[in-house]
Amino acid sequence: MHPIWVEMLQKPVGWLTIIGGIILIAMPFVVRAFIRKQMREEDRRKDN
């Protein structure tokens, strides 16, 4: 296996890098979903 892959997959620092990258990529989607949910709830309150 390539030395970079060995470093990424067999060392804790590599796993932290992978998980951190996933969090950074997923964060905008989670924030957008949360904001949309809040806006829908506010619209429902205004309609009632």
Model confidence at 35, pLDDT cuts 50, 70, 90, reads very high
pTM over 0.75: no
- Give Cα 44 to chain centroid, integer Å: 28
**pLDDT by residue (tens digit) across 19-34?**
999 999 999 999 999 9
Q: Output the six-digit token pair for 21.
A: 């990258």
Q: Output the six-digit token pair for 41.
A: 């709830």
* Cα→Cα distances 48→36, 41, 44, Å: 19, 11, 6
| 18, 8 contact by CB (below 8 A) | yes
